[in-house]
Structure 1
Amino acid sequence: MKYNIPDYLKGLSDNEVDFSKKQYGLNKLETVRKNGVLDMLIDILKEPMLILLFAISIIYVIVGDYGEALFMFVAIIAVSAISFYQDNRSKKALEALEKLNEPLSTVIRNSTVEEIPTHEIVVGDLCITEEGKVVNADGEIIHSNDFSVNEASLTGESYSVFKSVGSDDNKVYSGTIAVSGLAVFKVEKIGKETRIGQIGTSINEIKTETSPLQIQIRKFVKAMAVIGFLIFLLVCLVNYVRTQNLVESLLSGLTLAMSVLPEEIPVAFTTFMALGAWKLMRDGIIIKRSSIVETLGSTTVICTDKTGTITENTMQLKYLYDYSSDKTFNESHFNDETLSTLIDYAMWSSEPVPFDPMEQTLHRVYEETQQRDERILWQLFHEYPLEGKPPMMTHLFENGHKERIVAAKGAPEAIIQVSVLSEKEKEKVRQIIRNFGEQGFRVLGVAKSHFEGDNFPEKQQDFRFDFLGLVVFFDPPKRGIQEVFQHIYDAGIKVKVITGDNSDTTQSIAAQAGIVNTVDAIEGKAIMNYSEDQLLEEVEKKVLFTRMFPDAKLTVINALKKKGEVVAMLGDGVNDGPALKAAHIGVAMGSKGTEIAKAAASLVITNDDLDKLITAIAAGRRIYSNIKKAIQYIISIHIPIILTVSLPLFLGWIFPHIFTPVHVIFLELIMGPTCSLVYENEPMEKNTMQQSPRKMTETFLNWKELTISIVQGLFITAGVLFAYQWSVIQGGNEEKTRAMVFTTLIFANILLSFTNRSFYYSMFDSFKNRNILFPAISSLTLILLFAILYIPAVSVFFKVTNLGLTELSLAVLISAVSVLWFEAYKWMKRRKKN
């Protein structure tokens, strides 16, 4: 942003900044102490799996089996290390997001305007705040134009207050919101010394909400924990009745409890969401809450602004229409003397220190075309801010000779309405406006007035205006925007354009941008007059919503939500705040968006590129899909572990304790990284963005998906128990049988992780999705398995014996049959669809 700041505003020097920092400190409120390493470690040690491991370790120590006890303690360290690694990754990702979310503040230092992190503001700084910005320190206004501020965070009053250097209250306060105009203020208090700091309120506090997926997962894990506890009691009782051995019964029960508890699921969820948000941050997409990643994949409607989102927001002045001569001039003839008055008043009706792209352009054209720059000779002494439906604004200037300029500009309809024109003349101008609008131009009307005395009208519309002409801007659609909207439509997502511009301009730009169904447009004032039934019907049918104001935007968003749509709303202005907050996903633009928009939004696109929203939606779908894959994998592999531990005991087979806690914890150590590391890193499947959005009401696993996982688990169980019985029939002892069962289950686990990379495409297609962690974890698992089987000391500890080539081949064959049947199922599924 370029600011035309008066020369007398120098700001602090670097030495003065350093001195102020030492004397007054930094601009930080007291914050809640964040969890350190010790807190994270304590939280990890509270996990149910760790408690079970401690209990088993103590039992082994009591009975004098120190080797097993040592292994359990090593397992505790390993499980804790994995959990700590995951928690730390998530914590660092979220801290990086938090740091990026800190708003920047604009200050004048060394006579130069620069942006700094808000916490670096010091006492004595000259801060610039403007429309849509949050004031980040307490101070005194020393320069302003058309500046008003909402102080509801301090006073509770919702209306805005105009303030200037000469007003009775010329102070601004941290946490308040600039509603209009611009002000430069000298910082007097920072951090906890500010008014908002003293009452202990932080405007940046964000309440973390529990997402629907989190709730479902918690319920699932709690249910499994209850089932695990009941089975633990049952196994202990059955075993004790048969053996009268309390220690052995406790160990059997605890082994089964460990196999039932799916503690990998909440770890996987946290990891997926935090790392998903962190990866999006690297792509220039800032997620305020990591759980919003879950909602992204469900988006059914994108409501987008036009200016700066669909268009470049360059606001090139292409034409000037002079009413007095009834001529239109293109940019190569702006020097024509006929245009002098129109250009003059277009500039005077803009802010003296412009921050809007159109006003900056008008100031530039004034500099380039007028023979004499008179801006320094005139002072703004009274103003009417941008308001009305449609809006307009009026400025009153005065020079040293008490001569006055009264200049107004705004929506052409508003300027025509207040100008002294006959109905015939008005219709003539309206036709010119329509012609420009149909070509995609943005048009503003300009007018002048004359007023003596100081008894100004209460409303600017009460002045008697002379119509001067039109300023015509062209804001072309962004390059490649057609492809962006095609991607949105391909993903089954609808598009609505919600803009303050007029219908003709919006229809033209929308058509050029590749948006479909742009024939009809509806205006904000019409929306507010509809009955509820009419409103729901119109928001479903219409694509273009024009001349929209805050209440109308909010009405459209709420109506779409009522229709069952999952709404992403893109906005950048103060007026977009309510709609951004109401939408399921509020999306603010990073470079041109106001801080109010960013604060209300749940997602910020740093470079204002709409295509990034598609990237975010794709990431949301990928992450949700991968979470489901991980959870289905966990369910499928837990079933054979649970049944292999319990069935030999309940059925009275020859080796009832085929798995001990050592074997179960080894399997848990494999499963943890597989689901939370490997599946998290899985790329998006090629058909993901050609599918319709999933419904928000869907549970994370529907009955069909849950049934598939259970069937997969039962097939693997059948294979493992077949290996058990085959070994027994062949005369194998307990160690040989355990080795066959354990090896079959490990191979089945590896194959399951590969085949479940996709529930539609074949395993071989999935190999094209490069994920180095799959072969890495699988190779490590096989190395550990062969160490257990063929290194004598390790074999003794795991109570297994080595397997011959025939036995090893049979274990591979059994695991392949028990898992790869699913490839045939997927093939039939693809064939049926095609």
Structure 2
Amino acid sequence: MQGHDKQQRGETTATWYRQDAGAVLEQLQSGERGLNDADALARYERHGPNRLPERAGRPVWLKFIAHFNDVLIYILLAAAVLTGVMGHWVDTAVILGVVVINALIGFYQESSAEKSLQGIRGMLSSRAYVIRNGEKRDIDAEELVPGDIVTLRPGDKIPADLRLIEVHNLRVEEAILTGESTVVAKQVDAIDREVMIGDRTNLAYSGTTVSAGTATGVVIASGEQTELGHINGMLAAVEPQQTPLLLQMQRLGKGILYLILVVMALLFVFSVVLHDLPIGELLLALISLAVAAVPEGLPAIISIILSMGVRSMARKNAIIRKLPTVETLGAMTVICSDKTGTLTMNEMTVKAVLQSDGGYLVEGESYDPVGTLSDEATGQPVQPASRSALKQFIAAIHLCNDAQLRRGDDGRWQIVGAPTAGALQVLAAKTGLRFEDAELIDKIPFDSAYKYQATLHRIDQGNTVFITGAPDVLFAMAESELGEGGAQPFRRAFWEAEMARYARLGLRMVAAACKPAADDAHRIDHAGLPGGVVFLGIAAMMDPPRPEAIEAIAVCQQAGIRVKVITGDHPETAMAIGKMLGMRDWQDAITGAQLEHMSDAELGKAAANHDIFARTSPEHKLRLVRALQASGEVVGMTGDGVNDAPALKQADVGIAMGIKGTEVTKEAADMVLADDNFASIARAVTEGRRVYDNLKKTILFALPTNLAQGLLVVIALLAGTTIPLTPLQILWMNMATSTTLAFGLAFEPAEAGMMQRKPRVPGKSILDLHALWRIGLVGVLIAGSAFWLEAYLLGRGYGEDFIRTVLLQTLVTAQWVYMFNCRIQDRFSLNATMFRNAGLWLASATLLLLQLAICYVPAMNRIFGTEPLPLAYWGIALMIGLAVFVVVELEKCAVRWFLRGRGKAAEA
């Protein structure tokens, strides 16, 4: 699969980084003077504009029509056509009204198509600085072609994928592609081995940003051939996922359809042969059966409950973009999380300082300059001003530093400059040490070619050279090391052993050194640095885990949800973070290089057996999500960068960060965390499980009534008698009363122990054997009660409209009482929590008003064929409903007794 994909993408960045810059220029038939105009035009005609292709979306009318594509809707449309042919226009209008309302609800909830692709297109640079015919030009970025020579400056958005041919202290922010929180230092040498995107340091990618320095590069890929274009293509190719709930509802709808068709066919033959009913009357009866058996109110009920879940989650900082996601959250079995900015702060923080006399631990998180230093050996706080060696180290990292720490307009502390340098400035601010009298005389800027920075400062009436950079580079310079007792010979073995200890913790290190300078010194250069260099110490830093994420992961694991980290960062860092987060399997990381050569079957095993995946590309993340889905997992994927977008769109639940997430990621996601807090996911899972429980209660509540109504029609046809209820009266029960009462169940609170149980089996039907038994029991009870009541009233000579009104009131009342049975499926339903459920009583009050209207408002009497009822018949209906309630509660006791006895037998 991998090889085929690369072949489809053509000559991509997968090969250019392994070639010498001169060979790349020769292969692209370009040079330092760039392309000439004729050659550029010819290449433009061959490669096309440097932009990402747009895919046409469906027209609005087609999106609306798509919401009629449901088996239950087909039944209602057929019923509307038949009633129209028969001249029952009121019935036709009401049935069509129900269908259109359901379609409008679905259309309103549908998210706008392909906004994620528009978001990626918005990330491309609009202008480019190129060299053509030996002249520098500012051109539209869409005119770039492979072979163009592009110049880069600080702040530029890179307009295409480039092979760098000349760099000067170039550092690029690539987090949107790689997920790494630090800027990447670039160089021009060929890399002689296969490496992932984040390690291709001689390439610059379209859509990333120049943080510092300048460079020149040759375009190796434009438009859809760039890495950003590859992500765009993966997004376009991802098919929408059907949620477990929608799949279950489709199966339920098909089951109801097949059952209705079989019963209607049998009844048609039976009635024509044995009862010789007129065709018109028989068709109207069969339409009544179809309308009775179809739970047409169910789509509206589900939408109401899901919408309420959306509002509840929004109050908990989880913004749902796609309605069925609410329920899918409760079914998640795996959460694949990006590390940077999701599980971690995405703010480099110094956690320790290593000096000659020992180490110091640094408290505090992120860029907030609050936190104390303590002795690593004793744990006691220290005063930096009282430690001369520590004070000199702080002076070096503060003064030999181009970053600035400042408070933004929103009150949050921010770094201006590279994250690593910023972390050193935050450390300096935490110590409270000030160096206002220091005067900068000269400096050597940082460059990846030599991996250090140096400054010449006048401080304390003397000149000092401060040096910061890679530890191994400063090791080579150092002649001595500074301790609290003064300078002593440099111990390289000691420092390398200590570095290895910190590296195992996933920490990155920056070293500091100094050397005295002459009082009249006014400049410094590379040649003058060696000699007399005093090593001061090492700052060990990391992008720390979010404290709340540790607790959230524990909650998820307790709920049977496995958490996996998929990051572009280094394996050691990923494993260290995994350990800090309390992940169960953090000791072994799989790298992108390993995934690259795995077959789909091998990758499926790796996805199931490992929890840490490092140095991954966007394609690896997408493949891992698909592999987990193929094994039956319901997968959530979190992230904040463009590199996460394809996997987020593929996942059953894509979760984007709201504060630091890119617009592309947010548009590809199903849910956005407004607070970038992983803990909000755990709260959303709890809400998702509550919503699913309430949906199941609602379905168990609605279907017995449909069964009872269907049985009334079936038995009447078999007996050759008048249909007890008209199609309009049946629609009234299904839409007005069922939807109203289901609203009360939607407010039911979460049951105890919800987050201690394992996720439900994704493919398991929402209706198990016990649920089917309950539906059958209650349906027969209600239908039997209605037939007994109808026979009683017929024997006393009551009119047809009066009997139908009494039956309607009885069925609605029984449904209302059964709603209380449904609050708790396996225990006694009446407890103190029902008085805290305001929705329960609001639904009851609304139902009362509706029934008063249909019974006593003349216009409603005319439309629905009802009559005013004496108060006594309300009492009869209530007594029948209470009888149903008692029987169902006794059934619960019997089932508990049976299951308890079976459990004891199994133990024995």
CA distance in 2, matches of 1:297, 1:102: 29
Match 1:295 to one of 320, 328, 331 = 328
CA distance in 2, matches of 1:535, 1:415: 42
Matched letter for residue 754 of structure 2: T
Matched letter for residue 422 of structure 2: Q
Contact 2:337 2:564 in 1 (8 A): yes
Quote how far apart the aligned CAs of 1:425 are. Answer: 6.1
- Paired residue secondary structure (1:768): helix
CA distance in 2, matches of 1:754, 1:723: 23
Query: 1:339 matched to which residue of 2?
Result: 393
Match 1:636 to one of 684, 704, 709 = 704
Matched, 1:216 2:248: yes
CA distance in 2, matches of 1:376, 1:468: 21
Change (3 A) 1:216 1:356: farther
After superposition, the C-alpha distances for 1:121-153 in whole angstroms (9 at most, x for unaligned) are xx99xxxxx9xx99799999999942387999x
- Paired residue secondary structure (2:819): helix
Quote how far apart the aligned CAs of 1:758 are. Answer: 2.9
Change (3 A) 1:99 1:762: farther
CA distance in 2, matches of 1:79, 1:596: 37
CA distance in 2, matches of 1:526, 1:477: 22
Match 2:423 to one of 361, 375, 383 = 361
Query: 1:725 matched to which residue of 2?
Result: 791
Number of residue equivalences: 723
Quote how far apart the aligned CAs of 1:638 are. Answer: 0.8
Quote how far apart the aligned CAs of 1:75 are. Answer: 2.3
Matching of residues 174-573 of structure 1 within 5 Å: 176-178=206-208, 207-241=239-273, 242-269=275-302, 272-273=305-306, 276-277=309-310, 280-281=313-314, 283-287=316-320, 289-302=322-335, 315-317=348-350, 319-322=352-355, 332-333=384-385, 336=389, 338-339=392-393, 343=397, 347=401, 357-363=419-425, 378=444, 394=451, 408-409=469-470, 428-429=494-495, 431-433=497-499, 442-446=507-511, 469-473=537-541, 478=546, 484-485=552-553, 487-495=555-563, 515=582, 521-524=587-590, 545=612, 548-550=614-616, 566-572=634-640
Change (3 A) 1:105 1:397: farther
Query: 1:702 matched to which residue of 2?
Result: 768
Contact 2:709 2:730 in 1 (8 A): yes
Quote how far apart the aligned CAs of 1:609 are. Answer: 1.3
CA distance in 1, matches of 2:836, 2:213: 53
Query: 2:782 matched to which residue of 1?
Result: 716
Change (3 A) 1:566 1:194: closer
Change (3 A) 1:737 1:349: closer
Query: 2:77 matched to which residue of 1?
Result: 51
After superposition, the C-alpha distances for 1:215-260 in whole angstroms (9 at most, x for unaligned) are 3322332342343344444444444453452221221122212222
Query: 1:690 matched to which residue of 2?
Result: 756
CA distance in 2, matches of 1:539, 1:57: 56
Contact 1:345 1:447 in 2 (8 A): no
Query: 1:614 matched to which residue of 2?
Result: 682
CA distance in 2, matches of 1:375, 1:752: 85
Matched letter for residue 432 of structure 1: E
Query: 2:723 matched to which residue of 1?
Result: 657
Q: 134-143 or 492-501: which moved more?
A: 134-143
Query: 1:673 matched to which residue of 2?
Result: 739
- Paired residue secondary structure (1:262): coil
CA distance in 1, matches of 2:841, 2:301: 20
Structure of higher RCO (CA pairs closer than 8 Å, 6+ residues apart): 2
CA distance in 2, matches of 1:417, 1:553: 40
Quote how far apart the aligned CAs of 1:757 are. Answer: 3.0
CA distance in 2, matches of 1:638, 1:312: 53
Contact 1:97 1:288 in 2 (8 A): no
Quote how far apart the aligned CAs of 1:642 are. Answer: 0.6
After superposition, the C-alpha distances for 1:462-483 in whole angstroms (9 at most, x for unaligned) are xxx9987421347776566665
Matched, 1:744 2:810: yes
- Paired residue secondary structure (1:670): helix
The alignment's TM-score, normalised by the length of structure 1, stands at 0.67
- Paired residue secondary structure (2:242): coil
Query: 1:72 matched to which residue of 2?
Result: 91
Contact 1:719 1:815 in 2 (8 A): no
Contact 2:724 2:804 in 1 (8 A): yes
Contact 2:338 2:644 in 1 (8 A): no
Contact 1:434 1:504 in 2 (8 A): no
Contact 1:301 1:568 in 2 (8 A): yes
Matched letter for residue 213 of structure 1: L
Query: 1:591 matched to which residue of 2?
Result: 659
Change (3 A) 1:139 1:524: closer
After superposition, the C-alpha distances for 1:744-786 in whole angstroms (9 at most, x for unaligned) are 2111122223322331354323853755444344334333434
- Paired residue secondary structure (1:550): coil
After superposition, the C-alpha distances for 1:254-275 in whole angstroms (9 at most, x for unaligned) are 2212222333444545565566
Matched letter for residue 332 of structure 1: P
Contact 1:262 1:634 in 2 (8 A): yes
Change (3 A) 1:818 1:183: farther
Unaligned runs of 5+ in 2: 1-50, 126-139, 142-151, 178-194, 216-222, 362-372, 374-382, 406-414, 457-464, 481-489, 515-523, 528-532, 904-908
Contact 2:301 2:739 in 1 (8 A): no
After superposition, the C-alpha distances for 1:420-450 in whole angstroms (9 at most, x for unaligned) are 99xx967633653577689x89451448999
Contact 2:566 2:621 in 1 (8 A): yes
Match 1:763 to one of 807, 817, 829 = 829
Query: 1:604 matched to which residue of 2?
Result: 672
Quote how far apart the aligned CAs of 1:644 are. Answer: 0.3
Change (3 A) 1:150 1:134: farther
CA distance in 1, matches of 2:255, 2:292: 14
Quote how far apart the aligned CAs of 1:359 are. Answer: 3.1
Change (3 A) 1:284 1:107: farther
CA distance in 1, matches of 2:730, 2:656: 48
Query: 1:147 matched to which residue of 2?
Result: 172
CA distance in 2, matches of 1:103, 1:706: 48
Query: 2:19 matched to which residue of 1?
Result: none
Change (3 A) 1:643 1:557: closer
After superposition, the C-alpha distances for 1:717-769 in whole angstroms (9 at most, x for unaligned) are 22222222333455555445434432221111222233223313543238537
- Paired residue secondary structure (2:692): helix
After superposition, the C-alpha distances for 1:374-430 in whole angstroms (9 at most, x for unaligned) are 69954566559xxxxxxxxx468999xxxx9997548x9x99999999xx9676336
Matched letter for residue 240 of structure 2: T
Contact 1:297 1:618 in 2 (8 A): yes
Matched letter for residue 659 of structure 1: L
Matched, 1:623 2:648: no
CA distance in 2, matches of 1:71, 1:430: 87
Query: 1:821 matched to which residue of 2?
Result: 887
CA distance in 1, matches of 2:812, 2:540: 71
CA distance in 1, matches of 2:608, 2:348: 31
Quote how far apart the aligned CAs of 1:643 are. Answer: 0.8
CA distance in 2, matches of 1:673, 1:184: 65
The alignment's TM-score, normalised by the length of structure 2, stands at 0.62
Change (3 A) 1:502 1:799: closer
Contact 1:264 1:676 in 2 (8 A): no
Unaligned runs of 5+ in 1: 1-26, 62-68, 109-122, 125-129, 153-157, 186-192, 385-393, 454-464
- Paired residue secondary structure (2:834): coil
- Paired residue secondary structure (1:317): strand
